[in-house]
Chain A
Amino acid sequence: MSKKILVVLLALMMVVGVFACKPAATTEAAAPAEEGAKTYKAAFITQALSNESQAYSWKQLQQYAPEYGFTVDVFEGQNDVQNEAKAVSTCIAQGYDAIFINPSDINAIVPSLMEAKEAGVIVGMFSSDLPAESQQYRDFFCGVDDTMAGETAGKAFVDHFPDGAFIVEIGGQAGHDAQIKRADGFRKAIEGSKINLADSQNCSGWVTADAMAIMEDFIVKYGDQIQGVFCHWDNGATGIIEALKNANMNDVYLIGVDGCRAGYDQVKAGTQAVTIGQSFTNMAIKSLECAKAMLEGKPFEAVNFIPLDVVTKDNIDTFPYPEW
């Protein structure tokens, strides 16, 4: 009897596994760009679909792939570069035409991308670019410039507080490429201004509870002195807003990055001053455009920075409401 239960449970786990594991799905090439045109095979290799922006990017690639004559499969690395490297090998072995990759580690993935290039697979970096010394191993990059996102946030503080302000920073996952670049860009922008960056802490992950706890501790330490907060991501800002609300601090100038639904709602509600939006839709479209151009021997740009949207309460209605 107990063996039967075990078999049933294991079967259930396998069914779930089949749904959850890679490749998760394939787009249907139901409506290719032109009738009779060749359909290309592409793969989206991502760090983790548990990262909302990546799950949304995958949806966007699925949506736009048929328009550009592609079918797209997704391979999830589960934040492990070895899984991402295996996915690249699988794509080479299975004859994929192009891969769009957002790796967990931009250095560790280089050997796999060298193999892909040698095998004639088009390599498109998605959201994160390779380090300068390895950029010959990718064909193009489509993404936002995280340094620019940090700079934009810093500039917004300088513009809003021309006479200076006392601000704190709550960074994303400590050591993450985006966290480092956003912090660097931010410091660069406020350098020489009257903005006083009094304290800065990073989180163990992109975890809202961490951001909230750090903000609570900053409130104890600095109290009403805090005039502004730069948070590296909008969902983290949600926790910061709760901490500020509990402390009855309602006029703190809060800036977040992402431009996701939470960020838009918070800007609309007036609890967040600015969200610096990254358009994953444009990132997906640009990646497909570049790959298509390369396959057809047409010219394309190797580096494609997707412009950032600086969304405030005044201009929020001019941007489409995000779906993630």
Chain B
Amino acid sequence: MTKRFSLKQFMLNYLVLVAIVLLVIITIMVEPKFLSGENLTNIMRQFGPLSFVSLGMTFVIIGGFIDLSVAGIISLVAVVTVSLIDPLGQVYALIIGIALGAFLGFLNSMVLISAGALTQAEALFITFGMSAVYSALALIYTDGSTQHMSWLEGNQSIFNSIGSGMVGILSVSFLIFLVSLGALWIFHNKTYSGRAISYTGGNKVAAELSGIPIKRSVILIYTICGLMSAIGAVVLFSRITTAAPIIGKGYETNAILSVVVGGTTLKGGKGSVLRTVLGVLLITLMSNCMNLLGVSSYMQVVLKGAILVVAIWLDNRKEQ
């Protein structure tokens, strides 16, 4: 039996795709340079840091939680990694920085489990607190100063490649993103632990009664988010060549915005990293297109807010 095409259902499910196509068409009509190779490279580079953080946040939201600590994790990982380049060398600095992000995510999960915090609201307050701690540590660690990579003497070739290197027509950071996306998609869809995260987010009580290890899922969710935030931090400071102790500010809200706009439900249980890619693409394109179109920064903030409201409204409509 052929399923009837429903425009309403299509719009509810793929509005983000429609929005991207419309935005691109309008921008091309007004500013044809949008399609230039230079701009496509820009989009790839601007896509970088937020895309990694959003991939991690996808698992948190699918699992029925929220993580506001990513801002603090990004800040702390960035300043620690940059500070270790001279004394330890770039390879060890990179390894320690990424391991630190994963550890901070793990620490979040331990606090949540210890506190018995299994609701989104509890996670929101606890991770907000953890973010404050990590951000304060970044400030204490640097004495409030921005660290510039130009001040370092050690070899920074890895970070230079991540920040501005190209492999053919793709930026290095975009290639790392594609590898991460593939690995996380396989983890989510093809492994028991990945599916357990969706069951956990769908209904924690039912999942527990079915023998799903909830605590293990919580540990995995937050560790992945910490790890991806750390990779995002490395991509970010490699791109801009500075690490300020507040460098992660705003990434938590933009990551949640990207995940929700992509179509992952805030209620947990359903979602996909592929959908998040669409969300990040829309957010990145919005800034790029609006700068090319000359839309004022105030109006850009208004439009971002409006998109979040529409995405949540659509999310609720889909449930009805």
Contacts and interface: CB of A to CB of B under 8 A. Distances in A.
Interface of A: 2-3, 5-6, 9, 13, 16-17, 19-20, 49-52, 54-56, 171, 174-175, 199, 201-205, 207-209, 212-214, 216-221, 235, 238-239, 242, 245-247, 261-262, 265, 269, 324
Interface of A is mostly: helix
A174 B49 contact: no
B244 A208 contact: yes
Given A19-B136, A208-B242, A216 B42 contact: yes
4 nearest A-B pairs in the assembled complex, by CB-CB distance: A55-B144, A20-B136, A217-B291, A6-B114
Nearest to B246: A50
10 contacts: A5-B114, A6-B115, A9-B110, A16-B133, A175-B298, A201-B291, A201-B297, A203-B297, A208-B244, A242-B163
B124 interface: no
Nearest to A245: B164
Interface in B18-33: 31, 33
Contacts of A16: 133, 136-137, 140
B148 interface: yes
Given A17-B136, A324-B145, 15 more contacts: A6-B111, A6-B115, A9-B111, A17-B133, A50-B135, A51-B144, A52-B145, A52-B244, A55-B143, A202-B297, A209-B239, A213-B42, A213-B288, A213-B291, A242-B163
B240 A212 contact: yes
A50 B139 contact: yes
B133 A238 contact: no
Contacts of A171: 297
Query: Which of A2, A205, A245 is the most central at the interface, judged by chain B CB atoms within 10 Å of its CB?
Result: A2
Contacts, number: 127
A19 B132 CA distance: 12
Nearest to A14: B133
Nearest to A3: B114
Q: How large is the interface on B (under 10, 10 to 19, 20 to 34, 35 or more residues)?
A: 35 or more
Nearest to A241: B241
Interface in B172-225: none
Given A209-B239, A247-B38, A238 B148 contact: yes
Contacts of A324: 145
A221 B292 contact: yes
A190 to B, nearest CB: 19
Contacts of B49: 209
B144 A50 contact: yes
B301 A219 contact: no
A202 B301 CA distance: 11
A2 B145 contact: no
B53 to A, nearest CB: 13
Contacts of A202: 296-297
Contacts of A54: 144
Contacts of A212: 239-240
A235 to B, nearest CB: 6
A20 B139 contact: yes
Contact of B133 (A13, A199, A204): A13
Which of B42, B139, B250 is the most central at the interface, judged by chain A CB atoms within 10 Å of its CB? B42
A207 B50 CA distance: 14
B110 A5 contact: yes
A55 B241 CA distance: 21
Nearest to B33: A220
Interface string B149-184: 011000000000001100000000000000000000
